Amino acid sequence: MFSYVDLFAGVGGFHAALGSLGGTCVFSSEIDAEATKVYEQNWKTRVSGDIVALTQDQMAVPVHDVLAAGFPCQPFSKSGYQRGMEETRGTLFWNISRVLKERRPGVIVLENVRNLAGPRHTHTWRVIVTTLRDLGYKVSGVPTVFSPHLLPPHRGGRPQTRDRVFITGTYVGPDRAWAESVDEPLVENRPVDGWNPLEWNLVEHLPVVEDSTDRSEYRLSASEVDMINTWDEFVQLVRPRVPHGKLPGFPIWADSFDVTPRITAQTPDWKADFLRKNSDFYTRHQSVIDDWLHRHNHLRDLPASRRKLEWQAQDATSLWDTVMHLRPSGIRAKKATYVPALVAITQTSIIGSLGRRLTPREAARLQGLPDWFDFGDQGDAASYKQMGNGVNVGAAYFILREHILGDIDNVRAVAPDLADAALASPENPDERLQAAPVHVKAKSLA
């Protein structure tokens, strides 16, 4: 049985993935007290605190086969990217680097937000890759970006679009790491096994709960229902009048329904573009829109953020048939297949057909956690935050398993038990995870 450590552990997404692969957790760290309590309660594994204190003076992290970390991305200095590991000082990536230098696990799997692969972070990405190769890890110079909604249900996928950057590597020594590393992603950011993500169905695949259980605390308020009904009336009126019955994809701003767009020399280009589009849209449907505005007091009773509609629901016929997000930027409506990424703030998805928000249990299912996973007595806000910050179990399992199987000879040389575990593992982590708590294989608190 292979061993692993779980750094920046949250409530244990990586623990679920690596436990399902057949590993034993020998160390975990997490600085958030509420997440630590949930982690220990579910995985029966003691969680150490701040990784900084555990790696600065003396190395508290034990020897292990796999290092997993959903690390925060802090900016690195641009003054000297050639300095490798030294430049990471002052960032939490340095603490990971120190563990790798002293413990040299056979395989690493790191996870971060999609923006790490974006153009504003090319320097950060280069420092990370350079540091890992200098430490002896064969890692790709091109980020692997993947989302759980691209995995079919039988591979542990979930109906949530959640693009994340994954970094995987095998220890081969610095010379080979620089000579053999490739510049291509581990997997492509596209559906797996011919799966069509539009086939996701929240009721069937998640599933959402449609029973008679009292869910009043998740139901929409009367004012929210009125607001959605107001905009749904708009949808019903305008849809038959637009080409192919599809509303425009740009944000519809009721405050910008003007025959002449209010653009000044100071108006940013992006906003001017939206103002022109809204003006043109309004002008073409003015009579219908004016009647609608008049009936609803020109939306003056709604806050500014609720006077905007972002329609991404394609050919849906009603707002109540979509999945909605009430965002600071407006109401976003998407087709009721997969949901937007869970976030660590109160923008919980609304399932229109059920007239309520996703529950914490359903949010946990979206992250691939089993139904025996228990949030304890903490408030829902903390549970939503933890799910928004967490790593998706199915995506993490898929990425790590693909890395091991694709580099099996090198993995076997440095972590033979890990190689054997991957070869014997099922394609779907749910086969092991849902059946029994993974913590039966973990280091006990006692």
Residues annotated catalytic, as ranges = 73
**In angstroms, rounded to a whole number, what is the distance separating the alpha carbons of residues 236 and 110?**
46
Non-local (6+) Cβ contacts of 331 within 8 A are 227, 228, 231, 306, 308, 309, 310, 319, 324, 325
1, 17, 7, 11: which is closest to 428 by C-alpha? 17
Distance of alpha carbon 205 from alpha carbon 13, whole angstroms: 19
Q: Does residue 109 contact residue 63 with C-beta atoms inside 8 Å?
A: no
- The amino acid sitting at 188 is E
Spatial distance between the Cα atoms of 403 and 406, rounded to a whole number of angstroms? 5
| Beta-carbon contacts of residue 443 (< 8 Å; ≥ 6 apart) | 24, 25, 26, 45, 46
Cα angle 412, 416, 420 (rounded to 5 degrees) comes to: 95
Q: What residues form DSSP beta bridges with 67?
A: 5, 108
Q: How far is CA 133 from CA 76, 185, 205, in A?
A: 17, 16, 40
Is the Cβ–Cβ distance between 81 and 123 less than 8 Å? yes
